[in-house]
Amino acid sequence: MDKTQDALFEIGTEEIPSSYLPPALDFMKTRAEERLAQSHLPFKSVQALGTPRRLALLIWGVAAKSEAAVSEVLGPKMSAAKDNEGNWTPAAQGFARSQGVPLEKLETRESPKGPVICAVKKREGEKAEKILAELFTDLPAAIPFPKKMVWEPGQFRFARPIRNLVALLGSKPLRVVVAGVRAANKTFPLAHLSSKMISISSAQSYAGTLKNNCILTDPAARKELIRSSAQALAKKVKGALREDADLLEEVAWLSEHPVGILGGFSREFLDLPSEVLITCMKKHQKFFSIEDESGRLLPHFVGIRNGISEHQETVRGGYEKVLLARLHDAKFFFDEDMKRNLDYFVSKASKIIVHEKLGNIGDKLARCERIALELLKTFNDNLIDPEVVKRAICLSKFDLVTRVIYEYPELQGIMGGIYAGRFGESPRVAEAIREHYYPLNSQSPLPGKAESKIAALSEKIDGLCGSFWIGNLPSGNADPYGLRRQSGGILRILLESHWDVPLASVVRQALGAISNHHAPEDMTKAVCSFLTDRFQLIMQESGYELDEIYSITRNANDPDLLDLRLQSLRAKIDALHSVRKHPDFEAVAGAYKRAGNILRQARQKGLEVTREQFDASLLTDPAEKSLHVAVDDLIRKTQPMLEQRQYRAALQDWVRVRADLDLFFEKVMVMVPDEKVCRNRLSLLFILESRFRQMADFSLIQTGGLR
C-alpha cells in the first residue's frame, strides 16, 4: 500500500472581517471533503484553521493516487445498435460519443430487455498532486463571502487582497496560482513583528511552526488563551471577568497572537447605568468588563492586543485615553437625556414614521394596545394588571429619540426601562418596557412577568401583521424584515408560558387595527399559515415526528387549529406521540384509513352520508352491532376528556376499539346492494371517522414501518 502524506493550503490575505471567517472555513472544509470524495482520492480527515490574515486547510492522510475503477454503462439494445448489414447505427454512434468510448471498444451485455451494447470505462488512478493542485486553485474563488473586492488586473474577487499562498503535499510545493500569486512554502509573519518570511517544511509542522513565531492558527486555542489571560488579569484587581461569549468569539477572530492588557477608568463613570458602560467598552473598543463578587462593575477592563507582550504601558495608555473620550461622550448623552421628561420623549417619538402604509409610532402603539386588550380577554388572572400593560406599551418606544440610543441603538428597550425607572415609573412598567423586545432570538430569555410578555406579544404581532400588510415577506432563506424571528418570539412566549390563546382571533384584531376596518380574511389566513409553519418547525425541533405534527396541523376542521390555539395543538401532538407506542395504535390508524377510503369511494359514487342518517335498528350482523356499541361507549367516555383537554387519555381509549374494528372489516361488507343497509354502515363509519378527526387526521400517519 502506498504511503500517505498530509497536505496544506494557506491563503494569506490582508485582514478579513471577523464575521466572515468561521463560515469561510466551514465552507473550505466541506468543499474539500466533497471534491476529494468526487475524485476518489482517499484521505483521513480535513481540518480548517484560520486567523484574520490567513485561511488554512490541512488534509491528513492523503493517498498517493486516487482509486482506479472500472464502470459499465448500458446503452441501446443490440437490435437498435446495428443495422441489418452489421453497421453501427446513429443510436450506437451517439452513445459511444457520449461515453467517450471508440465504437470498436463497445461490448455486449445481457439485460432484462435482452442483449444491449455496453461502454466499459476504466478510470486510472490520478496522482494526488494533480487533484490537490486543481482543488487549491479552484477553492478561493468559490468561497461565498458576503462581500468581495477586486484589487488586481485579472479581476479576481475575494474578501480582501490575497498576498501569499502556501500549497504543500508532504514537503513538496504544489503548482498553484491564484489572483496572480504563486504558491510556495513560505508564509508571512505576525504583523509588525518581523519582515522575514516563515518557512513551512510540511503540513504536519504548520501549526507548530507558526506557534513558535507567535501565531496561533487554532481559533479554539486563541479563545481559551483570551479567556484565561483575561480572568487572570481581572483577579489582579480582585474582580471577575464578565462573561461575554459574543465578544470572546469576535475578539478571537481579530487577533493572531492575543495578549491581554489590564486598564482602568475613573470611578465617576460608574454612576452611568452598567449597560451603557458595558456597551461603550464592548462596541467601540472590544474591551471585556470586570465586576465584583456581587456583579457590580469595577472601574477596570481587559483589552486584547494583537502582538507580543512588549510596550504594554504604552498600549495601556492608548486604550485608556480612547476609552476616556468614549465614556465622556456616553456620560454627556445620558446627562442630556435626564434633563428631559417622559412627556417630551413620548411626544417626539410618536411622530416617527414607521411606514407610509402603517403610520407613525403613535399609530403603532395604539394598535399594540388593542392587541394587548384582545390578549387580556383570554386571561382570568387577577395578578395581571391591565394598567401596567397599557402604560408599558404607551412608553415602550420613547427611548428611540434619546441621545444614548442614537449612539447605542442596541440598547433599545433596555434604556427605555432604565429611564422609565429613573423618571418615577413603577418597577413592573419599567421591566415591561425593558423586555418588550424579548426574546431577541431562539435561544435568548423570555420576558419575565405576564405584563412584560403581553407587551412583547403585542409588539411582535403588530410587527408581523404590519409586514404582511405592506408585502414585506421573507423569501427563500432570507428574512430581511425579521418575520421569522418575530413569529418565533410569539410562539416561544405562548408555548413556554403555557398560554392557550386563540391566536387567529388576535391576528384578525391586529389586521383590523391596521386597516381601521374588518381584517381581510385571506390575509388573516396567510399570517396564521405562516405562524403554523413556524410552529411545525418548533415541534419538529422538539423531537416530534413530521407525520404526527401534520396529522394535527393539517386536520382542517379542528377548532383548535382554526383558532390557532398552540398549547392545545402541542398537547395533541404530544398525546399522539406518546400513544403511538401502544401495540394496537398502528392497526387502529390503518383501520381509520380504510374507513376513510371507503367513505371517499362512496362519495365518488354519489353516496353522501351524515351521522343523523344512522339507524341502529338496521344493524343485523353481530360484528357491526359490536362496533356500534364500542363507538357509543367511546363517545360517552371520551367526550368529557376532550372537553377537559385530556388528549392522551382519550387516545388511549380510542386505541382499545381495535378488536371491534378488526372484526367489522373481517366480517362485514359495507358496499352491499341494499342501499339502505349500505348507507347505514357508511353512516356508522362516518361517525367513527368524525370522532377520530376531533383529535387528528389519522390518514396522515405513516404506518407499516414508513416513518
**pLDDT for res 266:** 96
pLDDT in tens, 212-257: 999 999 999 999 999 999 999 999 999 999 999 999 999 999 999 9
**Higher pLDDT residue, 447 or 559?**
447
Report the C-alpha gap between 620 and 630 in whole angstroms: 16
- According to CATH, the topology of domain 576-700 is Isoleucyl-tRNA Synthetase; Domain 1 (1.10.730)
Q: Check pLDDT > 70 for residue 671.
A: yes
Q: Check pLDDT > 90 for residue 488.
A: yes
**pLDDT for res 1:** 42
Quote the cell numbers at residue 298.
469595577
Q: Give burial (CB, 10 Å; 0-12/13-18/19+) of 391.
A: buried
Q: Please, are residues 129 and 153 in contact by the beta-carbon 8 Å criterion?
A: no
Q: Is 463 helix (H, G, I), strand (E, B) or coil?
A: helix
Report the C-alpha gap between 596 and 34 in whole angstroms: 47
pLDDT in tens, 317-371: 999 999 999 999 999 999 999 999 999 999 999 999 999 999 999 999 999 999 9
Report the C-alpha gap between 690 and 221 in whole angstroms: 62
Report the C-alpha gap between 689 and 611 in whole angstroms: 10
Mean pLDDT of 516-530: 89
Q: Please, are residues 263 and 316 in contact by the beta-carbon 8 Å criterion?
A: yes
**pLDDT for res 704:** 63
pLDDT in tens, 531-578: 999 999 999 999 999 999 999 999 887 889 999 999 999 999 999 999
pLDDT in tens, 131-141: 999 999 999 99
Mean pLDDT of 149-163: 95
Report the C-alpha gap between 143 and 218 in whole angstroms: 20
Report the C-alpha gap between 199 and 642 in whole angstroms: 75
Report the C-alpha gap between 394 and 439 in whole angstroms: 20
pLDDT band at residue 192 using 50, 70 and 90 as cut-offs: confident
| DSSP letter assigned to residue 580 | T
Give 441's Cβ-side CA count (13 Å radius). Answer: 2
pLDDT in tens, 222-231: 999 999 999 9
pLDDT band at residue 608 using 50, 70 and 90 as cut-offs: confident
Mean pLDDT of 430-446: 94
Report the C-alpha gap between 534 and 545 in whole angstroms: 15
Q: Measured between alpha carbons, how far is residue 113 from residues 78, 91, 116 in Å?
A: 10, 17, 8
pLDDT in tens, 162-182: 999 999 999 999 999 999 999
Least confidently predicted of 283-297, 309-323, 351-365, 387-401? 309-323
Q: Measured between alpha carbons, how far is residue 51 from residues 85, 114, 392, 449, 595 in Å?
A: 70, 61, 46, 44, 64
Region label for 214, one of left (φ > 0), alpha (ψ between -120 and 50) or beta (otherwise)? left
**pLDDT for res 455:** 97
pLDDT in tens, 502-511: 999 999 999 9
Phi, psi at residue 266, to the nearest 5°? -65, 140
Helix (H) or strand (E) holding 21: helix 21-38
**pLDDT for res 706:** 45
Q: Measured between alpha carbons, how far is residue 32 from residues 29, 64, 178, 606 in Å?
A: 5, 17, 17, 61
Q: Check pLDDT > 70 for residue 312.
A: yes
% pLDDT > 90, the chain: 71
Q: Give burial (CB, 10 Å; 0-12/13-18/19+) of 267.
A: exposed
**pLDDT for res 474:** 79
- Look up the CATH architecture of domain 346-542: Orthogonal Bundle (1.10)
Report the C-alpha gap between 255 and 71 in whole angstroms: 50
Q: Please, are residues 333 and 311 in contact by the beta-carbon 8 Å criterion?
A: no
Q: Residue with C-alpha cell 493572531?
A: 256
Per DSSP, the residues of 494-536 read HHHTT----HHHHHHHHHHHHHTSPPPHHHHHHHHHHHHHHHH
Quote the cell numbers at residue 295.
456583579
Phi, psi at residue 502, to the nearest 5°? -75, 85
**pLDDT for res 341:** 95
Q: Check pLDDT > 60 for residue 68.
A: yes
Give 459's Cβ-side CA count (13 Å radius). Answer: 31
Report the C-alpha gap between 246 and 283 in whole angstroms: 11
Report the C-alpha gap between 694 and 552 in whole angstroms: 10
Report the C-alpha gap between 196 and 184 in whole angstroms: 15
Q: Residue with C-alpha cell 506557534?
A: 211
Phi, psi at residue 155, to the nearest 5°? 65, 30
Q: Could you report how far apart the first and last alpha carbons of the chain are, in Å?
A: 43
User: What is the tally of helices (H) and strands (E) in the chain?
Assistant: 27, 20
Report the C-alpha gap between 41 and 61 in whole angstroms: 10
Q: Check pLDDT > 70 for residue 705.
A: no
Quote the cell numbers at residue 531.
405562524
What ranges do the domains of the chain cover? 5-65+127-212, 69-123, 219-338, 346-542, 576-700
Helix/strand/coil percentages in the chain, nearest 5 = 55, 15, 30
CB atoms within 10 A of CB 622: 11
Q: Check pLDDT > 80 for residue 476.
A: no
Tell whether omega for the bond before 439 is within 30 degrees of 0, i.e. cis: yes
Q: Residue with C-alpha cell 470524495?
A: 37
